[in-house]
Amino acid sequence: MAEAALPASAPSRRLADLMRRAVLERIPVSGSFALTHRCNLRCFHCYLGDERLGTAGGAGDRDTAFWLDVVDQVAEAGCLNLLITGGEPMQRPDFGAVYERAATSGILVTVFTNATRVTRPVLELFDELPPRLVEVSLYGATQETYERVTGAPGSYRRCLDGVDALLSAGVKVGLKTMLMAETRDEIAEMRRMAEARGASFRLDPSLFPCRDGDTAPLDHRVPPAEAVAIEMQDEAYRRRAGDYYEKKKDLPPGQSLYSCTAGRTNFHVDARGHLFACMMVTSDGFDLARGRFAEGWGGPLARFLDQPAPPGSDPGVVLRPHVAHLGPFDLRGEVAQQSLIGLQPQPPCRGHQHPDHKHRDARLPAKIRPDHRHQRHIAKPHRLASQRLIPDETHAPHHPAPDDRPRHTNRQPMQVRGCDRPLRRPAQA
């Protein structure tokens, strides 16, 4: 006799149970690695400042052996979702080695890139070990705007060539852009560019001072009310925000300085090998060149969570992740009444302003690792393959949930510029 189908709500209940366990037990299920702070572009809004040029003081990038060892450590600690970012991570010759180690450890990997350094080896790697997502930063719909932001002649064409190469190889690609004074008039066209390619699209209005204190990036901010209005032009986003408001509107603020998942289920390792609770917080860190991940997670990062909210702080003034980086605002004020109708922020994270793609709600416990290859139905030996697979819908996202627009499905052999043979899937083992 056939088994009775589970109720439709069963996966949601299971996810909620798993998330509660991860939060209660402080399991580091999601994290990010900045393999390097160096970048081949010179974007004027970048929070890394001179670090991206390789000219800032301090220690340089860690070597390959360091990163491979840290991958092993975070996998052992329970990491299931890993973002590899930079700078530009493909700037490093060993990007493939670090990516492969993570992907073959049962970790779902997302890559943030500017796509200007996509090469045949990268495409072959992604064909063999598909990433969860490759998210590409797009700094304008036109060459003039894009290269005004990046300061790199020819970078616009290289970016689009890289995006199209990834899509032609069957890689899941998302496009994102920063909301700035220079790009505000091209947001709609960039969204259309993504839709035409079957890629997801998201907007990030978060602009920060540089890590060295330089406030120059803030000169490119858009006023908060305008930022909200531009965000709300996306009907799918507006609907998700309204649903989120209904779920969270009665949630009281906590008493901790940080009420997000930083240091509880999320972590970040910067290019110098320092472990932090968040990409945008450089306090309470731990040098992984001098100790193990478990030591830092159980020590400085645990103490990070113990910081109380400042006495007399007003929970009505909230730093909302999508807007508040443009300046604190009062939810009871005019901006809230006119621009945030139907919206409400998540529980206040009063310690700092964090972008969406830096803090993720992790949803899976340790020791339940999906074999990423089920995404392509590739049956290969895997040291974790004996462990139970988790349906794709349970994977913790590294970005807002994609909408239902069709995906690029062209799997024809492709030509890569400078190569004289088509790219094909390697023979199966």
380-429: pLDDT as tens digits:
323 232 232 223 333 333 333 333 333 333 333 333 333 333 333 333 33
| Distant-in-sequence, close-in-space partners of 377: CB < 8 Å, separation ≥ 6 | none
Both tokens of 187, joined, read 């947001």
* Range among 5-19, 329-343, 384-398 rated most confident: 5-19
The radius of gyration computed from the CA coordinates of the chain, to the nearest angstrom, equals 21
How far is 82 from 30, CA to CA, in rounded Å? 6
Q: Could you report the per-residue pLDDT of 233-247, keeping only the tens digit for each?
A: 888 888 988 898 888
Asked if the model's pLDDT at residue 84 lies above 90, the reply is yes
Q: Is 36 in contact with 61 (CB distance < 8 Å)?
A: yes
Region at 6 (left for phi over 0; alpha for psi -120 to 50; beta for the rest): beta
Measured CA distances, 425 to 92, 126, 128, 169 (Å): 24, 10, 7, 9
Amino acid sitting at position 321:
P
Tens digit of pLDDT for each residue in 280-295? 787 789 999 999 999 9
Q: Name the residue with tokens 């060539």.
A: 161
Q: If we measure between CA atoms, which residue out of 278, 282, 286 comes closest to residue 260?
A: 278
Q: Which fold has domain 14-218+261-309+358-394?
A: TIM Barrel (3.20.20)
- Is the pLDDT at 184 greater than 70? The verdict is yes
| 103 vs 376: which has the higher pLDDT | 103
Residue 250 scores a pLDDT above 90: no
CA 185 to chain centre: 25
Averaged pLDDT of the chain: 74
- Cα 32–286–310 angle (5° rounding)? 90
The pTM of this model reads: 0.71
In residues, how long is the chain?
A: 429
Which tokens go with 287?
A: 């040098």
Question: CA-CA distance, 133 to 108, in Å (whole number)?
Answer: 9
Taking CA atoms, 304 is separated from 30, 130, 257, 308, in Å, by 17, 34, 9, 10
Determine the average pLDDT of the residues in 51-58: 55
User: Residues near 130 by Cβ (< 8 Å), separated by ≥ 6?
Assistant: 170, 171, 172, 372, 373, 375, 376
- Please write the tens of the pLDDT for every residue from 135-163: 999 999 999 999 999 999 999 999 999 99
Please tell me the predicted confidence (pLDDT) of residue 45. 81
> What are the extents of the domains in the chain?
14-218+261-309+358-394
Band of pLDDT at residue 11, cut at 50, 70 and 90: confident
Q: Determine the Cα–Cα distance for residues 235 and 243; give it in Å rounded to an integer.
A: 12
d(CA 17, CA 13) in angstroms, rounded, equals 6
pLDDT band of residue 80 (cuts 50, 70, 90) is very high
User: What mean pLDDT do residues 89-108 have?
Assistant: 96
Q: Which residue has the tokens 């091209």?
A: 186
- Quick one: 401 exposed, middle or buried, by C-beta within 10 A (0-12, 13-18, 19+)? exposed
Token pair of 205 as six digits: 């209005």
Establish whether the linkage from the previous residue to 87 is cis, with ω within 30° of 0. yes
Residue among 165, 216, 246 at smallest CA distance from 418: 165
pLDDT-above-70 percentage for the chain: 68
For residues 341 and 313, the model is more confident at: 313
Q: Is 348 a residue whose pLDDT tops 50?
A: no
CB 337 within 8 A of CB 366: no
Distance CA(182)–CA(190), nearest Å, equals 13
Contact (CB, 8 A) for 263 and 302: yes
Q: What angle do CA 191, 197, 203 make, to 5 degrees?
A: 25
